[in-house]
Every structure is written in structure tokens, then in C-alpha cells.
């Protein structure tokens, strides 16, 4: 048993905690946004769009040769992290997300058993299914999702979308992006908790 598998349970707990933390950030920005939070809102909105690519990272790291993971995938995700880091002044959310990605990427540093690979692939497939299951309702029903703190008054006073030069459905409906992110990361935390409970039951 290598070190990755030896501390697999701790990694799983860490992933759950990070998902909960990120979900909490979405909730706070949806419920009680501040004018100083517009960069965070823009970043998390864009993050949810890019998560479609990132959700597969665990599978890539588990099935691809280590050298390919180290020299291709890790630099690719590193560029992504750097791009997001340049968008915001507060790095807390980015650091938390980077820890989630690092946890997914742990398979790039060591060979793992077929059992761990199979579990990783299954979790990635389920994560992608959850993403699509939540994404389309968030987009199609965006106008019906409660706006909470992200109402018209806040959007106009903050200049959201204009100052950040961002476009897309989540620019017009940032509350939908926050609701989507909250539901998605809560779902991931619940899913991973179920895997962990079954594994150690």
C-alpha cells in the first residue's frame, strides 16, 4: 500500500470539508453580498462554467500515466489557477479550490489499486451527472430562482458584469450561478460522504 492509499481516508475527509467550504462561499455571496464582493461573484460564476472540465480531472489523473499527468495536466490546471488568481484580490476561494483540485490530482504522484481507480472513475461520472442535472435547471429556470441579496438594486449599484467585462447567462443572472454552485458542491459533499460511509461501514 503506497502513501496515497494509506491516507486515502484523510484525503476523502479533506475533500468533503473543502466542498462544504466552497458551498458556504456560494451561499454567503448569494444571501449577503457586499459591494466589495463583485470580483468574487464573477470568479465563482466563471468557476462553475469551467468546473465542467475540472470535474473530469480525477479520472484523468487516475488512468493516465504519471509522466503525462505531471507534464501535461498539472501545468494546464496550474495556468487555470493562475488566471483566476489574477482576477481577484482575495485569494481565499482560489486557495480552497486549488486544494480540491490538488486532492483530485493526488493520483498523478503514485500508482493506485484498481479499486481506488474504479471508485475515482465512478465518482467522476456521478459528479458530471450531478453537474448536468443541476446546470440545465439553473439556466432554464434562472429567472425563477430567488435572488436574495443579488437583486436589481445590488446589481446596479455594484456595476456587476460591466466592471468585470464578463458575458453569459450567469452575468445576467448571478444569483442562478450562486444557487447552482451551492447545490453542486453540497451534492458533491453528500455523495463523497456516502462513499466514505460505505467504504468504512
The CA distance from 125 to 131, in Å, is 10
* Averaged pLDDT of the chain: 77
Check residue 24 and give its pLDDT: 94
Give strand ranges (E) for the chain: none
CA 101 from chain centre, in angstroms, equals 8
Check residue 118 and give its pLDDT: 75
The CA distance from 76 to 40, in Å, is 22
Check residue 14 and give its pLDDT: 82
**pLDDT tens readout for residues 133-176:** 998 888 888 889 999 988 888 888 877 765 555 556 666 788 99
Domain with 164, as residue range(s), is 3-199
Please answer whether residues 76 and 68 qualify as being in contact, where contact means their C-beta atoms are separated by less than 8 angstroms. Answer: no
Q: Residue 166: in which H helix or E strand, if any?
A: none
The CA distance from 180 to 46, in Å, is 12
**How far apart, in Å, are the Cα atoms of 144 and each of 27, 38, 61, 97, 156?**
17, 22, 38, 28, 19
User: Higher-confidence residue: 195 or 8?
Assistant: 195
Range of lowest pLDDT (25-29, 40-44, 79-83): 79-83
Please tell me the total count of domains within the chain. 1
* Rg (alpha carbons) of the chain, rounded to whole number: 18
Please answer whether residues 4 and 69 qualify as being in contact, where contact means their C-beta atoms are separated by less than 8 angstroms. Answer: no
pTM: 0.80
Amino acid at each position: 500500500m503506497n502513501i496515497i492509499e494509506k491516507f486515502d481516508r484523510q484525503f476523502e475527509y479533506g475533500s468533503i470539508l473543502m466542498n462544504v467550504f466552497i458551498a458556504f462561499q456560494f451561499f454567503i455571496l448569494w444571501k449577503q453580498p457586499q459591494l466589495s464582493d463583485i470580483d468574487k461573484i464573477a470568479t465563482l460564476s466563471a468557476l462553475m462554467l469551467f468546473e465542467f472540465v475540472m470535474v473530469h480531472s480525477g479520472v484523468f489523473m487516475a488512468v493516465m500515466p504519471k509522466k503525462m499527468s505531471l507534464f501535461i495536466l498539472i501545468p494546464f490546471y496550474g495556468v487555470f489557477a493562475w488566471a483566476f488568481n489574477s482576477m481577484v484580490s482575495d485569494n481565499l476561494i482560489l486557495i480552497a479550490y486549488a486544494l480540491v483540485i490538488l486532492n483530485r490530482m493526488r493520483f498523478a504522484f503514485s500508482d493506485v489499486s484498481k479499486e481506488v481507480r474504479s471508485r475515482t472513475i465512478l465518482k467522476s461520472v456521478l459528479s458530471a451527472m450531478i453537474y448536468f442535472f443541476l446546470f440545465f435547471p439553473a439556466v432554464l429556470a434562472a429567472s425563477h430562482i430567488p435572488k436574495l441579496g443579488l437583486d436589481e438594486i445590488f446589481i446596479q449599484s455594484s456595476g456587476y458584469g460591466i466592471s468585470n467585462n464578463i458575458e453569459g447567462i450567469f452575468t445576467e443572472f448571478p444569483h442562478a450561478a450562486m444557487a447552482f454552485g451551492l447545490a453542486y458542491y453540497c451534492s458533491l459533499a453528500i455523495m463523497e460522504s456516502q462513499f466514505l460511509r460505505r467504504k468504512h461501514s
